[in-house]
Amino acid sequence: MVITLKIVDATLPGREGRWSIAMQGCVITEVAPQIEASAQLTLKAKGRLVIPGLVDGHLHLDKALLLTQRPAQTGTFQEALAETGNLKQRFTIEDIQSRARDVIKREINFGTTLMRSHVEVDPILQLTAMEALLPLKHEYAWGLTLQLAVFAQEGITHQPGTVDLLRQAMTMGGDVIGSAPYVDPDPEQNIRIIFDLAQEFDCDVDFHLDFLDDDSPLLLPTVVEETLRRGWQGRVCLGHMTKLAGLTPEILREMAAMLRDAGISVLALPATDLYMMGRKDSHNVRRGVAPIDQLMNDGVTVGIATNNIQNLFTPFGDGDVLKICTLLAQTLQLGTAESHIQCLEMATTSAAKAIGVSNHGIAPGNMADLVLIGANSASEVIGTAPIERRVIKRGKIVAETHTQRILLSPEVS
């Protein structure tokens, strides 16, 4: 066996001591305290942390970096939805690709090796976003695995022709199908239509669900019912789920059991959800971030993601999933070393599982997607989101970021 790449003297999250990782081609072949076999290339970690590649499992590449075109005036969700709809009328393939390439390149540098981007398909955009993003899936495969989730943002039942457009987008090469049922006048029928398409194309489902903090009833029971009825366990992912943050502990446990038993995963999107939630609260303002730490403890597969980057829905962010980890830990008050390891899982192995990828993690037989970080512990990573990173995709180094700090003191006269 020829070891093509080996990392030695590394710290691994949740494991005592120092470790070595051997890779042959694109696969991890051995993880042990010491690996004597020589390698074509050896990286000396010097005690620094190695984690699985970061996962951004819920992102809108086609709507990223729009803030310079349309800054917020009120900052509300209604404004974001309406004004982004207006901007979409001017989207071109070249415009979408330019903004998407910027984000993808940033994320590769940060250490993202797996991404799911929603691709808006509706009577406004038609198939423009799909035509723009599909080539990027192949263009950047050397540094990042990109899943494309065909997505009906504007609703379905009141948008004639949308179902045919979704079907065309899936035929073009969509990986996943989804929608935002809460913007549809008939959300339950919206959900059923998406499951119909999922069965037609034998693909996974990804809903934006139970978002915002109004008094509308939870749609989760409908999704659970359809998941079980169609035998789609393990193939459904839900983004946002902010309404879970407002449930009593007893009801939250009931919802967690429903999610776990149906094999449905949840991705929290704290950058967006913190920005949008609780706007009508005059005091005791709600955080509005799904309590995924509690869901994880109850056996639900969970993760975090960036969602939007510098647009009306989220006027912040640069694509660094580790910064989202820090934000989540601050928001959910996760301060222990154990919870910091959980945060990293939510951004790596657990997030990958949430979007249907099981061979992601530091173990023999898994894909050799890793990040060597300029930190010595999970707590340091969560606390500082270190800049220094070396990114490995399929057993090859694809990105490096280094810093040089220079302290210039004034001359003493």
The 10s digit of each residue's pLDDT in 373-406 is 999 999 999 999 999 999 999 999 999 999 888 8
Q: Are residues 236 and 281 in the same domain?
A: yes
Domain range for 40 is 3-52+363-401
Q: Are residues 29 and 143 in the same domain?
A: no
Q: Coil, strand, or helix at residue 28?
A: strand
Q: Are residues 43 and 131 in the same domain?
A: no
Q: Show the DSSP H helices in 202-291 as ranges.
A: 220-230, 249-262, 270-276
**Residue 174 pLDDT level (bands cut at 50, 70, 90):** very high
Instruction: Report if residue 412 sits inside a domain.
Output: no
What's the token pair of residue 128?
């423009």
Q: Coil, strand, or helix at residue 344?
A: helix
Average pLDDT estimate for 125-136: 97
pTM to 2 decimal places: 0.96
Q: Who contacts 202 (Cβ-Cβ below 8 Å, separation ≥6)?
A: none
Q: What is the pLDDT of residue 285?
A: 81
Residues β-bridged to residue 120: 151
Q: How many domains does the chain have?
A: 2
Q: What are the tens digits of pLDDT across the range 241-272?
A: 999 999 999 999 999 999 999 999 999 999 99
Average pLDDT taken over every residue of the chain = 95
CATH number for the domain spanning 68: value is 3.20.20.140
Measured distance CA(375)–CA(388) in Å, rounded: 8
Residue labelled with tokens 């939250």: 252
Q: Are residues 195 and 162 in the same domain?
A: yes
Q: Are residues 301 and 395 in the same domain?
A: no
Q: Are residues 25 and 108 in the same domain?
A: no
Q: What is the pLDDT of residue 45?
A: 98
Measured distance CA(112)–CA(407) in Å, rounded: 31
Q: Are residues 222 and 269 in the same domain?
A: yes
Q: Are residues 123 and 144 in the same domain?
A: yes
Q: What is the pLDDT of residue 405?
A: 86
